[in-house]
Structures are given as structure tokens and as C-alpha cells.
Amino acid sequence: LRGGKEDSRGALVVLEGLDRCGKTTQSTRLVANLERLRHSAELWRFPDRTTSVGQMISSYLSNKSQLDDHTIHLLFSANRWEKRSLMESKLKSGITLVVDRYSYSGVAFSSAKGLDIEWCKAPEIGLLAPDLVVYLDIPPEKAAERGGYGGERYEQLEFQKKVGQNYQVLRGPTWKIIDACSPMEEIEEQLQNMALDCVKTCQEGKPLSCLWS
């Protein structure tokens, strides 16, 4: 039975982009808008700094600890794996998850350090595939001008340029691009429309799938 009520589920919507592109601003607004329109939705983010793995990641990002590039890559991945079953049960119960960063961040940032892209993708295989990935597109120079930039490990212009190139390699059919330099309200509206389309197809019974697909 496809398309019946039994298969109805929430959507997995991921926001991606360079540091300071506006993911947190927009994912917060999207969840509020979905709720206003009577859809159940939750805001999630990776890294999830609340778990013990997340605390190791947080310490690394704020330069309080050093880790081998492969090790931190696997920790970011483990941080998604420890949430996988909860994500699946929330989606199946009809809750839409709006996720601030996901596996694409994992691959784009680690491969910007020189790690092989296929090696970076491997530990992500089997995680839930997003129904929609919205890429907030910003030139690295513009992102660097925004508030708070420069505090964490990866917030350096040359590094962010490489990350942007890697994101381009990862783009696939579930991706939509929004100009992140537009006014916040315009981005909010575009994002809402994209998300509502996606929520509808998931309510109609689009099956869940796994990365990389």
C-alpha cells in the first residue's frame, strides 16, 4: 500500500552551507512557520553538542583539544549515528525534522582538509537520506563579513572556499539552492514553499531512503 495514511510520515529537511550563511536563522524560522501552519516540526542540528561525542566535537571546534583529521571526521559521523533511530521514529510518527547541517557538512569540511571524498562518505552510508537539502549559497567573502565570524576552527576564508567547492561536488537531485545574500524575509518565504512541497510528498507516502541516494 503506497500513498495511504499508513505510509504518511514527516519530512527530513536539511539546511547546508558555509559558516554564517544563515542556517540557524532560517531553520528556526522554518520550524516556527511550519508549526503556525499546523504541521508538527522539530529543529535539530549537527553537531549535537549535548551528547558525550558532541562534547568532544565542541571542544575540538573551539580549539580546546586537538584530534587527528580522520578521528574528528568519524566523531561527527558517530554523532549522527547516535541520533539515527530517534530520527527515524520521529519521522514515522509524522514529525518533520528541520536539520541544521548533516552528512554533507561532514564530507565537505573533512575533504577540504585533504581527506579522500569517498573515504569521507563511507561512514555516512546507511544514515537517513534527506527528502530536501536546501543550500544557502553565499560567497565566502560575504560570509566572513557577518557577525561572529572567526571564533571557531574552520572559520577562515581560504578553508571556506574549499568547503564551497566540495559542496558543489555533492549536489544532487534533492538539492535546492537559495541565494543567502537575499533579505532574510525573502529567504524565509522561498524556504517555506520548498519545505511545504516536500512535506506534502512525504505525507502522501514517499518512502524513507538511506544515504547516499
Smaller CB distance to ligand T5A: residue 39 or 101?
101
Q: How many residues bind Na ion (CB under 5 A)?
A: 1
Look at residues 44, 28, 30, 174 and name the one whose alpha carbon lies nearest to residue 97: 44
Look at residues 135, 125, 122, 46 and name the one whose alpha carbon lies nearest to residue 87: 46
Restricting to residues 41-60, name those near ligand T5A by CB under 6 A: 46-47
Q: How many CA atoms lie within 13 A of 118 on its CB side?
A: 0
Smaller CB distance to Na ion: residue 23 or 83?
23
Taking CA atoms, 30 is separated from 94, 97, 123, 176, 195, in Å, by 17, 10, 29, 15, 8
Near Na ion by CB under 5 A: residue from 7, 13, 17, 24: 24
Residue 16 in contact with ligand T5A, rule: CB under 6 A: no
Look at residues 39, 43, 89, 18 and name the one whose alpha carbon lies nearest to residue 198: 39
The interface region with ligand T5A, picked from 32-40, 81-89, 104-112, 126-134 by CB under 6 A, is 104-112
Which residues contribute to the site for ligand T5A (CB under 6 A)?
17, 19-25, 46-47, 61, 76, 100-101, 105-106, 109, 146-147, 152, 154, 184, 187
